């Protein structure tokens, strides 16, 4: 426990005067897509606002939702949840073929009690485990669940990430008669003619898998939460919601594997300088606590593991890409693995052309690079020459 407090104090010193950004399913999904990156792990654990940090150091992120899309998404979610989730109940009834006329609706985040995260999590656990399908619910002596089903809004879940407990708040959890919970995700990207953007669906599936895992851990049983989540999106170009089932079994396997691979946050902190700080706050006069140069230098003290996939998952991608330029790792995980021991593109070219001598660790990569260079040169030599001024014909 004392160790936990020490870790929290250290993370708080790194973040400085700013309030922490809470982890969510998207940040956990992104973290597990690049589990070897200490920079992201430390920044997320400390709750540093990476989007603002990227802006401050001159490399603003090029992804994320526009303000308009966020407003539209919130309006869509409100619409689906209006009147005790009447619209959602209709969708679930049709999709899951259930009689949910008398389903109970409970908003676990709406009491405005100002309770802390721990207390809200304990309260959510109590309510969910009392529901049918929970440890003390239907099928267990003393259960008091509603046989017509129940919807729980904003349950505060918890997941262990790199040895640190993080809190998560899914849009909703729906209960099914069969004794299993279904996670419901409400997204604002459209389903047009039965098809949605594959990349967005893939991201929603990973995020939903995070919630399924957290809910399974809360309830203490894997079979208490279905691997089929319900995705609710606008239909075609309207605001009419449509619900589809999404199987997240594969995402769950990958997620559990990647979470197990994450280095503990206290181990990562032990390797960092004691005075590391990434404070984005301002003093009383409105002057930034840390200048841009100091922030850039501090970022450079935490090891990154850039890969092209970072461009779609991490706010610091442009900063890390510039930092990694000229390194073989920047060409992707495949290249990094193929060229183990060959750190830079210049080194790789030297080995390919025989102008550099490989050490023992590089011998295999060097042989492959020489073969590739020879085949490439032969292929180029076999190609008909292109007349000056453009293509023939």
For residue 40, the minimal CB distance to ligand SF4 (Å) is 4
Binding region for ligand SF4 (CB under 6 A) out of 73-81, 252-260, 312-320, 378-386: 312-320
Is 306 one of the binding residues for ligand SF4 (CB under 6 A)?
yes
x-marked contacts with ligand SF4 along 231-270 as a string, rule CB under 6 A: ----------------------------------------
Is 172 one of the binding residues for ligand SF4 (CB under 6 A)?
no
Write out the chain in H/E/C secondary structure. Answer: CHHHHHHHHHHHHHHCCCCCCCCCHHHHHHHHHCCCCHHHHHHHHHCCCHHHHHHHCCCCCCCCCCHHHHHHHHHHHHHHHHHHHHHHHHHHHHHHCCCCCCCEEEECCCCCCCCCHHHHHHHHHHHHHHCCCCCCCCCCCCCCCCCCCEEEECCCEEEEECCEEEEECCCEEEECCCCCEEEEEECCCCEECCECCHHHHHHHHHHHHHHHHHHHHHHCCHHHECCEEEEEEEECCCCCEEEEEEECHHHHHHHHHHHHHCCCHHHHHHCCCCCCCCCCCECCCCCECCCHHHHHHHHHCCCCCCCHHHHHCCCCHHHHHHHHCCEHHHHCHHHHHHCCCCCEHHHHHHHHCCCCCCCHHHHHHHHHHHHHHHHHHHHHHHCCCCCCCCCCC
For residue 309, the minimal CB distance to ligand SF4 (Å) is 8
Is 314 one of the binding residues for ligand SF4 (CB under 6 A)?
yes
Residue whose C-alpha is closest to residue 105's, from 144, 152, 171: 152
- Contact with ligand SF4 (CB under 6 A) among 128, 156, 231, 304: 304
- Contact with ligand SF4 (CB under 6 A) among 27, 34, 164, 188: 34
- Contact with ligand SF4 (CB under 6 A) among 218, 278, 295, 320: 320
Judged by beta carbon, residue 324 or residue 351, the one nearer ligand SF4 is 324
Is 108 one of the binding residues for ligand SF4 (CB under 6 A)?
no
Is 317 one of the binding residues for ligand SF4 (CB under 6 A)?
yes
For residue 86, the minimal CB distance to ligand SF4 (Å) is 41
Scan residues 44-73 and list those touching ligand SF4 (CB under 6 A): none
- Contact with ligand SF4 (CB under 6 A) among 40, 56, 120, 336: 40
Binding region for ligand SF4 (CB under 6 A) out of 63-71, 131-139, 264-272, 298-306: 298-306
- Contact with ligand SF4 (CB under 6 A) among 23, 158, 305, 327: 305
Binding region for ligand SF4 (CB under 6 A) out of 125-133, 185-193, 270-278, 303-311: 303-311
Judged by beta carbon, residue 78 or residue 322, the one nearer ligand SF4 is 322
For residue 314, the minimal CB distance to ligand SF4 (Å) is 3
Q: How many CB atoms lie within 10 A of CB 239?
A: 13
Can you give the binding site for ligand SF4, defined by CB under 6 A? 34, 37, 39-40, 304-306, 310, 314, 316-317, 320
């Amino acid at each position: 426990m004392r160790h936990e407090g020490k870790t929290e104090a250290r993370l708080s010193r790194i973040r400085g005067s700013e309030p922490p950004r809470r982890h969510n399913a998207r940040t956990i999904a992104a973290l597990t897509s690049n589990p070897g990156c200490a920079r992201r792990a430390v920044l997320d654990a400390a709750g540093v606002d990476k989007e603002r940090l990227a802006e401050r150091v001159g490399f603003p992120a090029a992804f994320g939702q526009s303000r308009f899309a966020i407003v539209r998404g919130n309006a869509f979610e409100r619409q689906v949840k209006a009147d005790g989730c009447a619209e959602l109940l209709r969708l679930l009834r049709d999709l899951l073929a259930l009689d949910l006329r008398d389903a109970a609706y409970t908003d676990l985040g709406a009491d405005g009690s100002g309770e802390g995260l721990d207390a809200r999590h304990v309260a959510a656990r109590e309510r969910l485990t009392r529901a049918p399908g929970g440890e003390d619910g239907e099928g267990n002596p003393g259960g008091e669940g509603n046989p017509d089903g129940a919807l729980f809004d904003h349950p505060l879940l918890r997941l262990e990430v790199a040895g640190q407990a993080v809190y998560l708040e899914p849009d909703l959890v729906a209960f099914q008669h069969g004794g299993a919970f279904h996670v419901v995700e409400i997204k604002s990207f459209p389903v047009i003619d039965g098809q949605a953007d594959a990349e967005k669906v893939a991201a929603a599936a990973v995020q939903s898998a995070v919630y399924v895992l957290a809910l399974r851990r809360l309830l203490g049983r894997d079979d208490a939460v279905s691997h089929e989540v319900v995705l609710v999106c606008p239909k075609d170009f309207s605001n009419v919601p449509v619900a589809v089932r999404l199987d997240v079994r594969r995402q769950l396997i990958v997620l559990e594997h990647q979470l197990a691979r994450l280095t503990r946050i206290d181990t990562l902190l032990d390797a960092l300088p004691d005075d590391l700080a990434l404070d984005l706050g301002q003093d009383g006069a409105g002057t930034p606590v840390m200048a841009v140069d100091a922030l850039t230098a501090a970022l450079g003290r935490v090891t990154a593991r850039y890969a092209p996939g970072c461009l779609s998952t991490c706010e610091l991608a442009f900063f890390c890409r510039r930092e990694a330029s000229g390194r073989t790792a920047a060409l992707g995980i495949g290249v990094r693995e193929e060229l183990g021991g060959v750190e830079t593109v210049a080194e790789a070219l030297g080995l390919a052309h025989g102008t550099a001598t490989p050490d023992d660790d590089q011998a295999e990569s060097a042989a492959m690079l020489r073969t590739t260079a020879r085949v490439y040169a032969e292929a180029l030599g076999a190609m008909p020459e292109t007349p000056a001024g453009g293509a023939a014909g």
